[in-house]
Structure 1
C-alpha cells in the first residue's frame, strides 16, 4: 500500500506540474488490439479485449518481483500504468482550459472535453457541474480506488473498461452491452464513495437527500445498464443549493465559471481526503 500511495502522489504531482504528459496517453495500441480480435463477438470479445492486457500487466509485475531492487522497479511500473490510466485527457488541464477560454464560444467548446462518450454538454451550471463530477470519477477517483485495491492491474482494467464502453469501437450489440455493464460495475463503488466525500466537502443534506431519492426511485439494477446516476443526482443537488443561495439575480446565481471553480476546489478537497485515508492505513500498518 505504501508503494501504491507513493506512486499515486508522484503521478498526481507530475500531472499537475507537467499536464503535457497527457499527450502520450493515447488509446491507439488498445484500439488496434480490439480491431485485431474483430473475428470474435459478444461477451467473448469484450473479455478477450480486457483480460489479455491485464494478464500481461500481472505477468510484468511477477517478473519485476524477481529482479533485484524489486520495490523500486515496482514503483516505476506502477507510476507508468497510473499515468496511462489517468487518461485519456488531463483532467485538471481540461478544467483550466475552460476557465481560461477567452469568450463564451471557446468556453462551450472547451467544456466538451469533459465527456468521453461524445454527448454534448449544455452551457449551464448544473450540466457542466454534472460533467465535472463524472470526469472526476472516471479520470481520477475511479482509477485511484481500483489502483489501491488491485494495484496497477486494477487501474489498467478500469481505464480499459471505460475506454471500450465509451470509445468509438465497432462492437456488436451484445459486446457493447457487456462492455457498458462492466464499466458501470467498476464505476459503482468509487461513485458511491465519491458521493459521500462530496457530501462531506460540500452540502451534506442536499447531497445525501438526492442520493437517497435516486435509489428510492431507481429500478433495481438499473445502474448496471445506465450507469451510476446517483452521482449525477448528487452533483446536481450540490450545485442547486449554491444557485438557490444567490442574491436573486439568475445571471449571478448560475454563473457557470464560478460553479466550476467551486467544484474544482471541492474535488481537490475530496482527493486530499481519499489520499489522507490511504496514508492513515499505511501508517497504521507500520505501527502494527
Structure 2
C-alpha cells in the first residue's frame, strides 16, 4: 500500500488512541524560535518570518529527499507518520466540540468553546458562528496538513502547520508587526485550494444543490481569498440536515438550538474526512499515489 496512505492512517490512529503522545505535538519550540528572530534589535528581525519558516523546512526537505528510496521506503514512512502527527491538531477537534456540548452552564460552555475561536479572544455561543468555527478549525487542524502532505509529503504538512502557527495566536505576536499581515496572506493562499476541495466534498456529503448555490453566491463577484464560501456552505448544509431531522421527528423543535447545529457540523466534518480518505485509497489502488 502507498506510503502516503499508510502514513496518514497511522498518524490519525496515533493521535486518536495514543493520547499521551499528544504532548509531542506542542509547538512551543517554534513560537520561541520566532520570538528570538523577531526580537527588537535582532539582526534577522526584518526577515524573521521567512528565516523562521525557511530554515526548518529546508532541513526537513533535505532529510525527506535523503531518506527516499532507503530500506524499501520504511524511513520515508516513519518520517511521514511523524510529520502528519506533528502537523495534526494540536488539539483534537472532536473532543473540543464534545466539551462544548457537555459543558454545564453558559459561562462554562463559552470557556469550553474558546479553542474553536483561535483568531479572537472570545467565543460566540450561537449556531451560525459555531458551525463556521468547526469548519475553520477542521481546515486548520486536519484538512490543511492532509492536503499539503498529499501534495508535497512531510515538508508540505509541517510547512502548512508552521505557516498556520505564524498567522495566529502567540506565534504571530512574536513577529514584527509588518510581517503579521504577510503571514496571514500566506496562510490564506495555502488555505484556498483546501477550502475549495472541502466545499466540493461537502456538496457530496450533504445537499449538493444547497452547497453549490452557496459557493456560487460567494464567488459572484469573482474568485477571492478567504473562507467565506466554506463557512456559507457549512451553514446551509447544517440547516438542511436539521430540517430533515425535524421532518422525521414527531416533536422536533421549531428552531434548532446552537448545540444541535454544532453537533451536526462535527458530523459533517467527519463525513468529509471519510470521503477524502476513500478518494486517496482509490488513487492508491489506481496507482496514482506513490
TM-score range, shorter chain: 0.7 to 0.9
1:238 corresponds to which residue? 237
Aligned residues, how many? Answer: 280
| Contact 2:49–2:175 (8 Å) recurs in 1 | no
CA distance in 1, matches of 2:282, 2:241: 32
| Contact 1:64–1:70 (8 Å) recurs in 2 | no
1:261-276 map, 5 Å: 261-276=263-278
List per-residue Cα deviations over 1:109-153 (Å, max 9, x = no partner). Answer: 111111222342311111111000001111111110100110010
1:188 corresponds to which residue? 192
Give the ranges of 4+ consecutive aligned residues of structure 1 lying more than 4 Å apart after TM superposition: 242-247, 249-252
Q: CA RMSD in A?
A: 2.5
Q: 1:121 and 1:15, CA in 2 relative to 1: closer, same or farther beyond 3 A? A: same
CA distance in 2, matches of 1:171, 1:116: 17
Q: 1:120 and 1:203, CA in 2 relative to 1: closer, same or farther beyond 3 A? A: farther
CA distance in 2, matches of 1:186, 1:123: 28
2:86 corresponds to which residue? 84
Q: 1:238 and 1:119, CA in 2 relative to 1: closer, same or farther beyond 3 A? A: farther
Which 5+ residue runs of structure 2 have no aligned equivalent? none
Q: 1:22 and 1:94, CA in 2 relative to 1: closer, same or farther beyond 3 A? A: farther
CA distance in 2, matches of 1:174, 1:89: 29
| Contact 1:22–1:90 (8 Å) recurs in 2 | no
Which moved further from structure 2: 233-242 or 142-151?
Answer: 233-242
Which 5+ residue runs of structure 1 have no aligned equivalent? none
SS in structure 1 at match of 2:219: helix
| Contact 2:34–2:175 (8 Å) recurs in 1 | no
1:149-160 map, 5 Å: 149-160=151-162
